[in-house]
Amino acid sequence: MQAVQGRVADMRVVLVCALLPLLSLSHASCPKECSCNSNTRVVDCRGRGLYDVPRRLHPDTQELYLQDNRIRGLGSMAFREIPLVRILDLSNNSITSVSPTALLGLRTLQRFSLAFNSLRELDKRLFGPIRSLSHLDLSHNSLWGVSGALGDNLKNLSHLGLGHNRITRLDRSLLEALTHLDSLTLRGNPWRCDCQILGLKLWLEGYLFKGGVVDEALCSQPEEMKDKDLQKVPYQLFHNCMATSYHYLFANIHHLESEKLMRGHTHGNHAHPSSHTLHVPMAMGEGYGGGGEGGGGGGLPECEPKQRPRPVNLRHAIATVIITGVVCGIVLVLMLIAAVYGCAYAAIMAKYQRELKKNEELAAGKKAVQAKADEKETLENAIA
């Protein structure tokens, strides 16, 4: 009898041990704040007043909707319980910060939305472990820019939403890395349409020529380009870029030279009141007193070694050589940049003309075939 009772007790223990995982799984399958569909593996937590990502999510969850809540930040491995999630929507929350490791473990994530939040920046490591992401919406935030390094981790992206942020410039290297991009939103940003945005304009023209879709990028600065779409701004308005660079460079050089001459004139008056010769103090150890190493008065402090001043003509020659070298180097760089942009634009236009000519030849061929068919039909009708 005791043996039978012992066996029954053992069976109860085994049964309890078998049921415990099932009970814990059912308890962890759906948070009380959300509604879950076990068939579609969808967890809906929209508009529940949540301040954080809910816990005890079923590990097989594939879609998680957290829109219209009060979540303020995403910590490290915030979604470690749902490694198989494909769609993750966090739009319309109060998110101001996202940990660089917030998405760690989500290797199957395809669609991710952080729209309508308060993000100012994104760490370039955020999408590092993800290679499957195809849809990323960052619109309606306060982003000042997007790191070009993000492009290395978003090579399979087909849609990127950057509209309605505070972006004034966009790194062209980011866009060039997105080789599978089909659509891009840029509207609502205060684009600064100066010489530095020429790279984005050239990329947009090539992107549209290949069939890409983009809304618009309206300039906010400078004033003469305000409210003009960057795609439609003629290149003639950017022709002043190189000239402006030259004027700015020489104006600064002239200002520096004038400042040095006036400073030298002041120093020279202190030393020789009767002299009217302008003196440029180029040497670091040059004294302010009356001439040579033995001059007194306003010379260098005693603790500093006094260096023998170089002749004025030699100093002037060295300064002229340095300034000339700098100017020539900058001019060569600007000419090289202009040549690269010109070649890129010419290549795009040549390709466009070839495609246009090819289409016209195809259309002419079709018309000729149709004309022959009509002529043949007319002849057959006449014979009949």
**Which position has the higher pLDDT, 312 or 264?**
264
Positive or negative torsion for Cα 104, 106, 107, 110: negative
139: which 2 tokens?
A: 């619109």
The pTM for the full model equals 0.58
pLDDT band at residue 3, thresholds of 50, 70 and 90?
A: low
Q: Give the number of residues written for the chain.
A: 384
Mean of all residue pLDDT scores within the chain: 77
Q: How many Cα atoms occupy the beta-carbon half-sphere of 349 within 13 Å?
A: 7
pLDDT, residue 291, reads: 40
What does the pLDDT look like over 190-239, one tens digit per residue?
999 888 888 899 899 899 999 999 999 999 988 888 999 998 888 777 76
At 297, the pLDDT band (50, 70, 90 cuts) reads: very low
**Model confidence at 259: pLDDT above 60:** no
pLDDT greater than 50 at residue 22? no
CA 170/CA 159 separation, integer angstroms: 16
Q: Which of 138, 51, 132 is nearest to 89 (CA)?
A: 138
Q: How far is CA 114 from CA 87, 94, 117, 177, in A?
A: 12, 10, 6, 21
What phi and psi values does residue 277 have, to the nearest 5 degrees? Answer: -80, 130
Give the pLDDT confidence of 67-82 residue by residue, as tens digits.
999 999 999 999 999 9
- Could you tell me the residue ranges of all domains in the chain? 31-235, 241-290+309-367
Structure tokens at 225: 């380009």
Residues 282 and 193: their CA atoms lie apart, in Å, by: 40
Quick: pLDDT tens for 322-339.
888 888 889 888 888 888
**Whole-angstrom Cα distance, residue 344 to residue 332?**
18
**What's the average model confidence in pLDDT over 100-107?**
92
CATH of domain 31-235: 3.80.10.10
**Nearest CA to 57 among 79, 89, 77, 72?**
79
Segment 133-162, tens digit of pLDDT: 999 999 999 999 898 888 888 989 999 999
HSE-CB at 206 with a 13 A cutoff on CA atoms is 17
